[in-house]
A and B are shown apart, each in its own frame.
Chain A
Amino acid sequence: MTTLITGADGYLGRRIVAALRGEDLILAVRCADQAELDRKRALLARVTDAPVVPADLRDDDPFAHVDPRSVTRIVHAAAVIRFDVSRDTADRVNASGTARVREFARRCDRLDRLMLLSTLYSAGRRRGEVHETRHDDAGFVNHYEWSKWAAEECLLDAPGLPVTVVRLPTLIAEDGGGEVGQYNAFHHTMRLYHSGLLTLLPGDPATPLSLATAEFTVAGVTALLTAPPGIYQLCPGPVTLGTAIDTAFAVFEQDPGFRRRMLPRPIPCDRASFHDMAQAARRLRGGPLQPALASVAPFAEQLYLPKHFRTDRLRAAWPGYQAQDATAVVEAACADLIERSFHVTAH
């Protein structure tokens, strides 16, 4: 059994590689040239001695270096995951790139599983209960969401392929200890609040957030590799937006430097107000607010669209499933951010 992992050098890809260490793996990475490929090979060699092959999902035949006869499982982890990704890039990498993975999968005669790592937010603009089923197009808040939905559809439309779609939560820490290994919109937002650059809170404080650790997510992904094909929502147990903010500020306020600055907790604002503020911020020259907001604003609208993700299929398929205390994860992650003065080095 040989597993091809795309995006094997990415944040989650590397952790999945580590979890599957000892199995037959082929690691596909995107690289601009031989030097970058060498660097990524060296990076991954710390985890496994599996072969590392170059694969750019924008190429016509990205898996030209992989023999399809040897592949029995594919974990498609490669994606552009920025909320402010352009439509064109989201299409070329996430949607059309997944179509190329599908075409390669068709050539794998012994394929047992094609797993797409998607996002809970492929649900787009819908609100309320979200089931572990295919979504119709309910509209999307940003191109990233749209592209992940399109990627799901691309695979779920393909007859005969053993497809598993795993919709992932937002990863904010490595594990319950709270170590932050990669910045995303959550961390950018916390940095804005901690630095006093933002005092408005986009969204309804009652909106549930799905925030998780990499440890939980990788455990779920690897467990689902042996579960029946289908759609799973890897949701660890929600925390409301208001509780997450209160928890973060309770941590910040233990920091003497923060206390001295007496920064106020943010006030909830309506969608139009946050939109106006983000638009106006685009005109603020060169400061830190504009780029930080650029990563937050494309996601902010989701915070007005409360969703409750059902996990019935996940719980049935993953005997080891244990809901996480998301409030505790937020607390630990924020404490880690404070300890590092918000300087996070990807590792």
Chain B
Amino acid sequence: MRARPAATSMGSMDGLYIGSFAHALGARKRHLRESAEAGLLRSAPEDLEAAGFRWHHICEPDGSAYDLARSAVAEIAARGELTDIDAIVYATCLPDGGTRTGPVRDVKELMDFPAGRLQAEFGLSRAIVVGLHQQACTGVLGALRVAGALLTTEPGWRRVLCVTADRFPDGAWYEQAYNLISDGAAACVVGREPDVCRLLTVHQITNGGLGRAGDDETVGTYFAYTHRLVREAAARVGLAPAELDWVVTQNTNDKAWQILARLLGVDHARVWAPTLPDVGHVISADPVVNLSALLDSGRARPGQRIALPMAGFGLNWQCAVLEVVGR
């Protein structure tokens, strides 16, 4: 009998909305050729350029993932939208922030509580905190899913702040699975009141058998799993992939979605990743960056359905489906 990776989904997420999108990027914007000269890349710069990458964002030496998260949340607060938060779901690939050095005597030094720090810093006194760090680059969608689950099981709660933030440690390659990486964070709020989009579903596939997959295996399995992911996510809301109005993707090799669009029967003109050259792959944040760009463009009309498929190490694949409400 064939083993199959666990595939679960939330099904219908009636009455949940998502909005207040914000993001923050590392302060230093560098051309990939400059980073190549600095020894931060593994691929030849011309190969990354052929994939569509140009620029990426790196934190200053004293900048942290928490600083990025705080900047993204501060943007929401500045808009007056950081109200009635009952929970904070914080997703990261690198839970220790990559900053720890030397031997440890007191294990408290290994603990980091960025969600709690956000709670304190922004005065979200009634919010509880949840952390996610097993979903790699798909973590932001895992945060949406957990937010939906919390709101479903806690009838008195109204809004959940979802945050993702990552910063690569100094000296690390700013390239993973042939993608140019940026330090960055993204945040949004899932709640019960009408907002920019309805959150229709989040679907996830995990294959722990590929938990230590190398870059080539990650690329090799990308197509079959993403194809399955989008088909299954669309089916959860009663759609075929071709009926999706937009597919907002991670910033990855632009050939990948030319191929997947054909396989899925999706018009490639509806595949949206305009920030690929300027931003690169912001770990778990770039789909939020691209979604914000789509919503800001005015091209997404009320009633349209948007898929956000993401792939990450682990290996994990997640896809959210939203419906544009407009306010």
**Interface presence of A347 (CB below 8 A):** no
Kindly state whether residue A130 has any CB partner on chain B within 8 Å.
Answer: no
Query: How many interface residues does A have (CB within 8 Å)?
Result: 32
Q: Does A129 contact B (CB under 8 A)?
A: no
Chain B residue at minimal CB-CB distance from A284? B178
A277 touches B217 (CB 8 A): no
Question: Given A199-B224, A270-B262 in contact, is the A261-B210 Cβ separation under 8 Å?
Answer: yes
**Roughly how many angstroms separate A200 CA and B224 CA in the complex, as a whole number?**
7
Give the residues from 251 to 307 in chain B that come closer than 8 angstroms, CB to CB, to chain A. Answer: 253, 255-256, 258-259, 262-263
| Interface presence of B106 (CB below 8 A) | no
Q: Note all chain A residues with C-beta closer than 8 A to B109.
A: none
Q: Does A209 contact B (CB under 8 A)?
A: no
Query: A274 CB to closest chain B CB, in angstroms?
Result: 8
Across the interface, which residues of B come within 8 angstroms of A196, CB to CB? 210, 213, 217, 220-221
A197 → B minimal CB distance (Å): 4
Smallest Cβ distance from B254 to chain A, in angstroms?
9
Q: Collect the chain B residues with CB atoms within 8 Å of residue A270's CB.
A: 262-263
B44's contact among A253, A285, A289, by CB below 8 Å, is which? A285
Q: Are B259 and A283 in contact (CB under 8 A)?
A: no
Q: Bound state CA distance, A288 and B218, in angstroms? A: 12
Complex contacts, B47 vs chain A, CB 8 Å: 283-285
For A195, what are the chain B residues with a Cβ–Cβ distance below 8 Å?
A: 217, 220
What are the interface flags for B215-247 relative to A under an 8 Å C-beta threshold, 1 for contact and 0 otherwise?
A: 111011111110110000000000000000000
Asked if A287 and B216 make an inter-chain contact with CB atoms under 8 angstroms apart, the answer reads yes
Complexed CA–CA distance, A17 and B69 (Å) = 72
Interface: A269 (CB within 8 A): yes
A276 and B255 form a contact (CB under 8 A): yes
SS class, residues of chain B in contact with chain A = helix
Smallest CB–CB gap between B5 and chain A, Å?
A: 5
Is the C-beta of B42 less than 8 angstroms from some C-beta in chain A?
yes
Question: Is the C-beta of A322 less than 8 angstroms from some C-beta in chain B?
Answer: no
Known: A196-B213, A253-B2, A262-B4. A289 touches B220 (CB 8 A): yes
Across the interface, which residues of A come within 8 angstroms of B178, CB to CB? Answer: 283-285
A177 at the interface (CB under 8 A from B): no
- Does B155 belong to the interface (CB within 8 Å)? no
8 Å CB interface, A262-282 against B = 262-267, 269-270, 272-273, 276-277, 279-281
Interface centre among A192, A200, A253 (most CB of B within 10 A): A200
Residues of B within 8 A of A198 (CB): 220
B50 within 8 A of A: yes
B residues near A288, Cβ cutoff 8 Å: 216
Q: Is A260 positioned at the interface, with any CB of B under 8 Å from its CB?
A: yes
For the complex formed, measure the closest distance between the CB of A268 and the CB atoms of chain B, giving whole angstroms.
Answer: 9
Q: Which residues of A contact B50 (CB under 8 A)?
A: 283
What is the 8 Å Cβ interface bit string for chain B, positions 16-51, against chain A (1 contact, 0 not)? 000000000000000000000000001110010011
Point out the residues of chain A lying under 8 angstroms from B5, CB to CB.
Answer: 262
Task: Tell me, rounded to whole Å, the shortest Cβ–Cβ distance linking A242 to chain B.
Answer: 15
Confirm or deny: B98 has a beta carbon within 8 angstroms of a beta carbon on chain A.
no
A264 touches B224 (CB 8 A): yes
Q: Tell me if B51 and A283 are in contact (CB < 8 A).
A: yes
A263 contacts B221, CB within 8 Å? yes
Quick one: given A253-B2, A284-B216, are A267 and B209 in contact (CB under 8 Å)?
A: no
Chain A neighbourhood of B220, CB < 8 A:
192, 195-199, 289
* Distance from B326 Cβ to chain A, minimum over Cβ atoms (Å): 35
Counting CB contacts under 8 A, is A259 at the interface? yes
Is A259 a contact of B3 with CB atoms below 8 Å? yes
In the bound complex, CA of A270 to CA of B47 (Å)? 24
Write the nearest CB–CB distance from B260 to chain A, whole angstroms: 8
Q: How far is the CB of A185 from chain B (nearest CB, A)?
A: 17
Give chain B nearest CB distance to A248 CB in angstroms: 13
Bound Cα distance A263, B5 (Å): 9
Known: A195-B217, A199-B225. A276 touches B43 (CB 8 A): no
A266 proximity list for chain B (CB < 8 A): 224
Of B210, B216, B255, B256, the contact of A289 (CB 8 Å cutoff): B216
Query: Quick check: B262 and A279 within 8 Å, CB to CB?
Result: no
Binding site for A on B (CB under 8 A): 2-5, 42-44, 47, 50-51, 178, 207, 209-210, 213-217, 219-225, 227-228, 253, 255-256, 258-259, 262-263
9 pairs, A vs B, C-beta closer than 8 Å: A196-B213, A196-B221, A262-B209, A273-B258, A273-B263, A276-B255, A284-B43, A284-B47, A289-B219
**Additional A-B contacts beyond A195-B220, A267-B263, A284-B219 (14; CB < 8 A):** A196-B210, A200-B259, A253-B2, A260-B209, A267-B224, A269-B223, A272-B262, A273-B263, A277-B255, A277-B259, A280-B256, A283-B50, A283-B51, A285-B178
